Structure 1
Amino acid sequence: MSITDPPHPHHTVTAIVVSHDGSRWLGETLEALLRQTRPADRIVGVDNGSRDGSAALLAGAFGPRAVLSLPRSTGFGEAVAEVLDRLGPDDGQEWIWLLHDDCAPDSHALQTLLRAADQDPKAAVLGPKLRDWLDRRLLLEVGVTVDRTGRRDTGLEAREYDQGQYDGVRDVLSVSTAGMLIRRDVWEEVGGLDPALPLFRDDLDLCWRVRSAGYRVLNVTRAVAWHAEAAARRRRRITVSGDHPRRLDRRNAMFVVMANLPFRPLLLALIRNMVGSLLRTALFLAAKQPAAALDEFLAFGSVFGHPARMLRARRARAAGREQSYGTVRRLLTPPGAGWRRLADRVRSYLAGTGFVESAGRHHAVAARQEDGEELLTDVGVTQRVFTNPGVLLFLALTLVTLAAERSLFGGARLGGGALVPVIGGASDLWDLYREEYHQTGLGSDAWAPPYVAVLAVLAGLLFGKTWLAVSLLLLGCVPLAGLSAYAATRSMIPGRWTRVWLAASYALLPVATGAVAAGRLGTAVVLVLLPLYAALATRVLTGERRRARRAAWCLGLLLAVGTAFVPLVHPLTAVLGALAALAFPRRGAAVSMVVAFTVPVVLLLPWLVQTAADPGRLLLEAGLHQPSLVETGLPARSLLLLSPGGPGMPPLWVTGGLVAACLAASLTRRNRLAVAVGWGVTLFGLLVAILVSRTQVTPVGGGVAAPAWPGVPLAFAATGMLVVAALTADRIAEFRAAGGPRRVAALGVVLVAFSTPLLAAGMWIAEGADGPLRGTVRDVVPALAAANSTGGERTLVLRGTEDGLLYTVLRGRTPIVGEADIPVPDGPRERVRLAAAGLVSGRGGDDARVLAAHGVRFVVLAAPVDPRISGALDSQPALARMSLSRAVGVWRLTQPVTVPAAPPGDPWHGRRLWGQAVLVIVVVALAAPGSRSDGREPVPQERPVPVRKPVTR
């Protein structure tokens, strides 16, 4: 090899350029190397079997005697070691400058690195700031760290530009071998790059061993290099390993961490890697990346399946490992950042649905402590919480909710209104949903409502707590609806603060406060899902075909959830979807719409057929249907001002500002088509609300017929109004900027529009959740009756109201959520109704014999106790009073009671349940957003880089 004499005796720099099929970048790299203001003393090129002319470029720059040719399977570390073995040591302090063929250093890079080395005698490894090859302002690395599972962390946000924010000499865990400057004596001391890591993470392993030996690793940001990351970005074929690059990277990451951690941290890291690999495998499968999931699984197996290799590596790295860990620990990814990374990964997963922005990388910065050491601290979460309008809106709505619902927290049992007292756990809900024959009440072989399964899944995720699941959906529906509306309108409504107003106004609608006050769990769930329906339907109609079809499956899945709670959701959305498909004809959109509205029908069979057989049940929702919760003869002005009536309603003038703002928005001439669609949805919702509020419906278990509650149709109408107003917000901004009367008019519209969420929040806080919902409710079955009930004996609960006598048959305990929605056969129900009426009217013992034949042992008179009814029951010779107070009365039948036996079960019931489970899994898989197969950020399209002939010397 031809080597020039060193011009600087204090430092001798040997530059080594390793190439492998990198001719498209190599010319610029060589030119940058030969133009250094502080030239390298010795320069050697190594070509690992290139087939694109890279070897000729190296020979043209350095001369053929200064170029070493090696096989294509040679790794980067092996190539550098081969060069150093042939060169032999140099007198004085020698530095090795490593360069990839796709890394072009700035002309002052080497001089800057050496100057930094002179200022710190303990510095053994120094690296430049790396920027992107194509977008020269884009930061790639200012040092690298990892967490204890080996996840690489640059401390940069996605596509973060260099504005000098990281300038300075930074103490880091590792720097890249692209531009790495390392003392040769330290290289020899630690053994150089590990040949077992031919690609990926070899630099991390080397720098970790350097730190274990007592030296420092620095990133010098005044030294700059531009890196194409050709191997990591799959811009060229990798031939040093037969494994997929993703698998190789993950395997090496775990290997380096496991080999370099001390024993105690290693034990925790073993558990973290086992659990983390399982979670990542599941996430890859959910994101439709089976190849990535397989790579993750095989990478884990290749590390932990060869314990002997791991033990040898740990023995080789044992020197100084324990002593240096205190410093290394401060440079690892900070504790807790792994959770933020998981949140970012989930957020990135959800970004595939279009509801949230893409997640960035973990943001970590170096903060200097009192002892002069630098500690990586995570500031990304705090910054995002206090700067993201959506998060601020969610927090504000949560505070409003806590203040308004203050009377509902801390109680023993939530219930009242349409909500039965919440008892039991997730296992009880699953038992109810799987039963072939329900012994509750008078007994029924009908299908349990599918919302029971939805609650069971959510309760299972919340440690089996049904009360927590119900509280989250019902009491938390206002902040959840606000967050849903803000996220779902990201691609539809311009301006984040316009979306904040829309989301706040939507979340604080009278429908929401009324749902909470009356315990309407179904309306609360639909209120959260409705903005997602709108966003997904928009994507189905306007998106690219593959994304539109995936959105259709997702829409169908969420429609199935909403329909399970409120059956009216499906026909409402189906009509709107059909009209939208006709208004926006697009190839494939009709098929996607058919998919979206077929999925709920398929998933909810045969319950949906059972419900459709009684059309009145389509107007009911999850929970009890009580006449006292519905306002009879609801005036038209109430519906026009989006107030569905019933408990928890604010004054009508609270929503007047919203309606006025929507009418003012209609006067503008922009977005006419969108405004027309919005008003179409509004009018459709109002029309359905009028029909629902004037239709008499009989409860599932029998009772007094009463109008249905029009809350869900009014939520549809309000959504249309809000979209109309939000789409014209840019016009209001132009009026404000114009000055004069237009400015005054614009300010007036803004004040009127903002009056709705502010007044609604204020009124809700002042009045509280005023309604029949309570934080503590009594058991429906008194303890005296429950304690004496044996063998499945039933209890008849009577309640006198202004509308007549209400009755319920219970089986020895308070019903769990969903049991009240199971229909009872008409024959037994009618016979028991007549018998209950006969007891109250004072008829003879035939009525008692009917009750006894249906297993009724106890008769309970619920509060408020009517003296006339209690007197009639006392007069019955077939009844013996057990207890009577102002709160409750209990009587026992004196004659023998026959508990009806359960009929034979349906042998197909279990198979249908398994089929339903399989269908749900299939739909979830089809609805799940996919992502890029390599899991990396998108790379700009490569532009041809002209290769200039390098300067020779």
Structure 2
Amino acid sequence: MPARVHALVVVRPDGRTPAAFHLKRTLAALAAQTRAADALTIVVCGEHPGVAEVVAAAEADVIEAAATTSYAAATALASSRLEGADAVWLLAQDTAPEPEALTHLAGALERAPSVAFVAPKLVRWDDRSVIVSLGVTMARSGRTVGLADGEFDQGQHDGRDDVLGADVRGILVRADAWERLGGIDAALAGADEGLDLGVRARLAGARVVLVPPALVATADDGVAGLPSPLTPARRRRAAYARRVARLHRHLAYAPPVLAVAFWLVLLPLAAVRTVLHLLRKQPGLIVPDWMASVVVFARVLPVLRARAGIARTRRAAWSQLAALRATRAQERERTDDAGDDDVAGGYRRPELRFFTGGGAWLVLAALVVSVVAFSAVLAWPVLGGGALAPLREGVGQLWADAAWGRRALGLDTLGPADPFAAVVAVLGSLAWWDPSRALSILWVLAMPLAALGGWVAATRVTDRPFLRIVGGALWALAPAFLVALVDGRPTAVIAHLLLPWLLYAGSVAHRSWAAAGAASLLLAATAASAPSLVPALVVLWAGAIVLAVAVRAGRGVTRLLWIVVPGAALAAPLVWWAVAGADPWGLLADPGMVWAGPQVSADAVGRSLLVAGIPTPDVAGWQTLLADGPTWWVPLLAAPLALLALLAPLTQRWAAGITLLAVAAAGVATAVAAVGVSVAYTQSQAVALWPGAGLSLAWLGALGAALVALDAGLAPRLALARAGAGALVVLAVAVLAVPSLTAMSRGTAVLTDGPASTLPAYVAAEGRSDPDLGTIVLTPQSDGGVSAHVIWGGSETIGAQATIMSTRTSATPEDEEVAALAADLMTPAAEDVVSQVAGHGIAFVLLAPAWPAESDAAGTAALTARNALDQRDGLDAVGDTDKGALWRITEPVAQRPRVPAGTDRLAELIAAAQLGAVAIAVLLAIPTAASRRAARRSPRIVGPHWREWR
């Protein structure tokens, strides 16, 4: 037995539990050893009254150090006091050995002269049946692998002897080995200290041995070892320490050439690991990883010292350590977080039952109804009518329209794109061979996609197959959705299709990063398609954060905060432009083509229809269908759904019911306010916001609340009553949908076949290959005026629309120049106007039909303009077309002016920031095996009872 054992206890009072409490137990455990330590040195890092009192009562040599002193530095300070010691026992304030621990450790060290140090079995402070650590090794990748961490102690590892390393807490080290090895490497930042000491001891020709009978309890709250992951700050600190230690060991152990190569790729490797952390749904590790990489990259001298120390003491080859390293199978077994999906007494989510529960049949039925109702659309390569227009013919042009830069409308307008242009680009890219075909496909698939989305959203409310079918059917038959399909409103259709998925992901975004990533993308797309929903969505998002703080003690708030980041990144340039131009109201404008289609008025009658979910004055088409018949009863068809929704707060799931009613209220408020707000203009007419997007949000909340009432408001034995109530609601809404579903066959739908271009075919053919070909369009107005605007390329397209132009209320210098050119073109006395027009890159002049309807004043203006244009030198009349009278400029047409210097650079910076935010969201949203396992361990239904929100 070594003649003299010197115990070192390092105390740093910065843990969550008062250090004095742990230190008392540790010192009492040392005093109770059957084989007492011969000397005791206590290193106190920092000042603390309670610790000072405990230390003063102990018979020990005391060293005072700064509060920032690490465990390695503290043991180095105490090394000068080890004179005469044969062994050093490394302890901390929270490592309390069992009475026989030192006896077992010292005996093992005496029996094996070739051993550099022996390690005890670390157990939990409050439960000695759980192993904290019993031996450590590393994989070939350098990853640290605990051999028994977190296991219940059943003696299954007591036969293990030789190991590569061990947790530094509680080890008993020969004094000569401690001095020869230079103690603990301070560059490890507190992680893998025992592993590194063991590796260096093995290379020096010594062994590391486990002594399982020696038990040392640890609370993971001291200066030694990694802190317990009880708070986000501690988790980040532990992640930083682990990464620093691993990178430092890589550089210290690798051959010189490989070490230099690895040092050079440290920062690029951090970038790659950033992507991996996002894929693994661990964004909290990104900052610690980068910090560790930067620190290790800058700290060259500690690496050189570590390599020199290994070279000085090395007596064995690295190959002799191979047998003690973890194999790939052992690494996967010890570090894979898979585990069993079913822990004892744990929760396992039931199967979704999409096929066996009738979901697939619902989607199939919706597809059949859609094909019957919109069969003509299948033959239309380009969908027209309403707010529909062609898409760009190339995917590159689609994405160019989504970037900051020169807009495809206006004389020379520079500015941000609408976020909806990115949605259009994604949609068009799905049909890259013919982007405009994407809208035709979307129109036919809209109803089955809506049914699928409604069914999936219903799974967050109920696990009853019938009620899920009811939810999917009601969402596909929503009046605002069907009216948007019949009237040709793509933004409203897309928003309606996205909302149930936003509810599905957003309702559990506080649980996981995968859900938060998906919700952030869905929120960005929804807000881009229906900006009028943004105020309501922001209110609901803020309410979710307040709820997380109040009910969940702030857990998941970071995930909820992330939800708005991609949408904010996409909208930031447009928001900045609107605020700088003192026109923030324009941010609410419906994107895409501006169309003053039929919608209810802002009076009491119109808003009462909105409360019933009907966005048009013809009562969802029933006035047209019944001609002179009464339609007062039509809004009552929505009453069964509303009554069920109002009953939800009276059920045992009142919290979910109230929340969903709040969603419905936000949607109704949005729709009611929207019809009174006009921020966009087409020709000379102001266009009110479309209230249908708000009604879709209201329908989502009311539908969810109604499902809550049906699911929890009726006892299980009343299944027949539940089925009858659900069938009644579906029947009532189906009756309400009859005019919309038959509009195509009756010829009352706004949808049309095409046009392939909003410009004459001659211009479209020229502009197809030259997107910088300009056309000035003159449109006589009913009041005798003329509207003038410039279109670039072969057609106006949905993605090329810009609210920075459709919502401005004051003329810009470009507007004034276009107006001057138009006035000069229609004034016979004006000279050289054609050359001025050609100098701007404009090659055609189109005199469009009068808008909105032919009048005497409009006819006079059109005749005057035509006569003036026919008499112009430099204009060659192409002739009358279905889009109006067309003239071609015969004078040399200049190239469209280049953008100012720096604009391309600005566009690249904005695009990089936006793509970065979206890429992060995509990486977070991609499901992994671990995220799917975690999801299966949590309920699919949200808020069965308010306590379960915790």
| Partner Cα distance (1:641, 1:654) in 2 | 9
Structure 2 contact 520–564 (Cα < 8 Å) conserved = yes
- For the structure 1 residues 468 and 760, does the alpha-carbon distance in structure 2 shift closer, same or farther, using more than 3 Å as the test? farther
Question: What is the match of residue 706 of structure 1?
Answer: 687
Among residues 803, 808, 814, which one is paired with 2:795 in the alignment? 814
User: Paired residue for 2:457, among 488, 501, 506?
Assistant: 488
Task: Quote the residue 1:779 is aligned against.
Answer: 757
Does the 8 A contact of 1:704 with 1:806 survive in 2?
no
Question: Counterparts of 1:765 and 1:845 in 2: how far apart (Å)?
Answer: 56
Paired AA for residue 780 in structure 1? T
1:690 to 672, 695, 706: 672
Distance in 1 of aligned mates of 2:500 and 2:771:
48
1:399 paired with 2:368, answer yes
Counterpart-to-counterpart distance in 2, 1:599 and 1:482: 27
Secondary structure at the counterpart of residue 680 of structure 1: helix
Label 1:880 to 1:530 Cα distance change in 2 as closer, same or farther (>3 A). Answer: same
Change (3 A) 1:430 1:678: closer
Q: Does 1:860 align with 2:841?
A: no
Whether 1:561 aligns to 2:525 is yes
AA at the equivalent of 2:799? G
Distance 2:489 2:500 in 1: 19
Report the residue type matching 2:739 in the other structure. M
Of residues 650, 674, 685 in structure 1, which corresponds to 2:621? 650
Q: CA deviation at 1:511?
A: 1.6
**Structure 2 counterpart of 1:674, one-letter code:** A
Q: Measure, in 1, the Cα distance between the counterparts of 2:740 and 2:635.
A: 13
Q: Do the aligned residues in 1 keep the contact of 2:486 with 2:743 (CA within 8 Å)?
A: no
Letter in 2 for 1:643: I
Structure 1 residues 389 and 735: alpha-carbon distance in aligned structure 2, compared to 1, 3 A threshold: closer
Distance in 2 of aligned mates of 1:777 and 1:616 = 32
Alignment of 1:218-367 (within 5 A): 288=280
In 2, the alpha carbon distance for the partners of 1:402 and 1:904 equals 50
Matches of 1:923 and 1:717 in 2, distance apart?
A: 27
Shift of 1:694: 0.7
Q: CA offsets per residue over residues 842-896 of structure 1, 9 Å max, x none?
A: 9966976775564444332334695434311222143664313676322346777
Contact 2:609 2:619 in 1 (8 A): no
What is the alpha-carbon distance in structure 2 between the residues aligned to residue 646 and residue 779 of structure 1?
31
- Contact between 2:660 and 2:704, CA under 8 Å: does it hold in 1? yes
Matched, 1:662 2:629: no
Q: Specify the alignment match of 1:206 in structure 2.
A: none
8 Å Cα contact 1:473-1:524 kept in structure 2: no
Which amino acid counterpart does residue 642 of structure 1 have in structure 2?
G
Cα pair 1:518 1:648 within 8 Å, conserved: no
1:882 to 867, 878, 897: 878
Aligned residues of 1:473 and 1:521 also touching (Cα < 8 A): no
Q: State the match for 1:600 in structure 2.
A: 567
Query: Counterparts of 2:484 and 2:349 in 1: how far apart (Å)?
Result: 27
Deviations 1:608-644 (A, max 9, x none): 4335553233222331112245554461222111122
Shift of 1:778: 4.8
Which of 915, 925, 928 aligns to 2:926? It is 928
User: Can you list the C-alpha shifts for 1:207-264, whole angstroms capped at 9, x where unaligned?
Assistant: xxxxxxxxxxxxxxxxxxxxxxxxxxxxxxxxxxxxxxxxxxxxxxxxxxxxxxxxxx
Distance 2:802 2:835 in 1: 27
* One of 593, 608, 611 as aligned partner of 1:637: 608
In the alignment, the residues of structure 2 paired with residue 420 and residue 473 of structure 1 have an alpha-carbon distance, to the nearest angstrom, of 14
Q: State how far apart, in whole Å, the 2-side matches of 1:703 and 1:829 are.
A: 14
Is the Cα contact below 8 Å between 1:514 and 1:649 reproduced in 2?
yes
Distance in 2, Cα, partners of 1:715 & 1:615? 24
- 1:683-719 per-position Cα deviation (integer Å, ceiling 9, x unaligned): 22222212211112124x8753221111111111111
Tell me the amino acid that sits aligned with residue 574 of structure 1: V
Q: Deviations over 1:412-442 (max 9, x none)?
A: 4222321222341323313434574346542
In structure 1, the gaps of 5 or more residues are: 1-282, 291-347, 349-353, 361-383, 940-953
Does the 8 A contact of 2:496 with 2:696 survive in 1?
yes
Supply the AA of the counterpart residue of 1:909: A
The code of the aligned residue for 1:884 comes to: D
Greater alpha carbon shift after TM alignment, 428-437 vs 773-782? 428-437
Q: Which amino acid aligns with 1:601?
A: A
The whole-number CA distance in structure 1 between the counterparts of 2:574 and 2:930 is 39
Structure 2 unmatched ranges of 5 or more: 1-274, 283-340, 342-346, 623-630, 806-810, 938-950
Distance 1:721 1:843, change over 3 A: farther
Distance of 2:462 and 2:277 partners within structure 1 = 32
Counterpart for residue 493 of structure 2: 524
Contact 2:482/2:741 (CA < 8 Å) preserved in 1? no
Question: Cα deviation per residue 1:902-938 (whole Å; 9 max; x = unaligned)?
Answer: 2334223223323432332222222333433999999
Q: Contact 2:408–2:800 (CA<8 Å) still a contact in 1?
A: no
- Specify the code of the residue in structure 1 equivalent to 2:690: W
Residue 625 of structure 1 aligns to a residue in which SS? coil
Contact 2:391 2:797 in 1 (8 A): yes
Taking the aligned partners of 2:696 and 2:563, their CA distance within structure 1 comes to 21
* 1:622 paired to 2:591: yes
Structure 2 partner of 1:903: 899
CA distance in 1, matches of 2:380, 2:436: 11
| 2:929 counterpart SS class | coil
Give the match for residue 389 of structure 2.
420
1:747: how far off?
Answer: 8.1
Distance 1:461 1:896, change over 3 A: closer
Distance 1:884 1:646, change over 3 A: farther
8 Å contact 1:355–1:489 — kept in the other structure? no
Range 848-857 or range 828-837, more displaced = 848-857
- Which of 483, 504, 518 aligns to 2:473? It is 504
Give the aligned partner of residue 582 of structure 1.
546
Amino acid at match of 1:810: I
Task: Give the corresponding residue for 2:537.
Answer: 573
Q: 1:516·1:648 contact (CA, 8 Å) conserved in 2?
A: no
Contact 2:532 2:689 in 1 (8 A): no
Q: Name the CA distance, whole Å, in 2 between partners of 1:355 and 1:782.
A: 62
- In 2, are the aligned partners of 1:414 and 1:773 still within 8 Å (CA)? yes
Counterpart CA distance in 1 for 2:499 and 2:936 is: 32
Q: Hey, what's the Cα distance between the residues in 2 that align with 1:648 and 1:439?
A: 37
Instruction: Provide the C-alpha distance between the structure 1 equivalents of 2:765 and 2:727, rounded to a whole number of angstroms.
Output: 60
Instruction: Answer yes or no: is the 8 Å Cα contact 1:504–1:757 preserved in 2.
Output: no
1:740-779, aligned counterparts within 5 Å?
Answer: 749-750=725-726, 752-768=728-744, 770-779=748-757
Relative to structure 1, is the Cα distance of residues 747 and 534 closer, same or farther in structure 2, using a 3 angstrom cutoff?
A: closer
Give the length in aligned residue pairs.
564
Relative to the length of structure 2, the TM-score reads 0.52
1:473/1:525 contact within 8 Å kept: no
Aligned match of 2:436 in 467, 476, 480? 467
Question: Equivalent residue for 2:777?
Answer: 797
Maintained 8 Å contact 1:477/1:527: no
Distance 1:937 1:615 in 2: 40
Q: Which amino acid aligns with 2:777?
A: V
> In the alignment, residue 928 of structure 1 is paired with which amino acid?
I
* Alignment correspondent of 1:552: 516
Q: TM-score, normalised by structure 1?
A: 0.52
Distance 1:802 1:481, change over 3 A: farther
Letter in 1 for 2:620: M
Quote the Cα distance in structure 2 between the aligned partners of 1:848 and 1:355.
Answer: 75
**What residue is the counterpart of 1:88 in the other structure?**
none
* 1-structure distance, mates of 2:744, 2:619: 8
SS of 1:683's equivalent in the other structure is helix
Are 1:616 and 1:698, in contact at CA under 8 Å, matched by a contact in 2? no
Q: How does 1:191-210 map to 2 (within 5 A)?
A: none
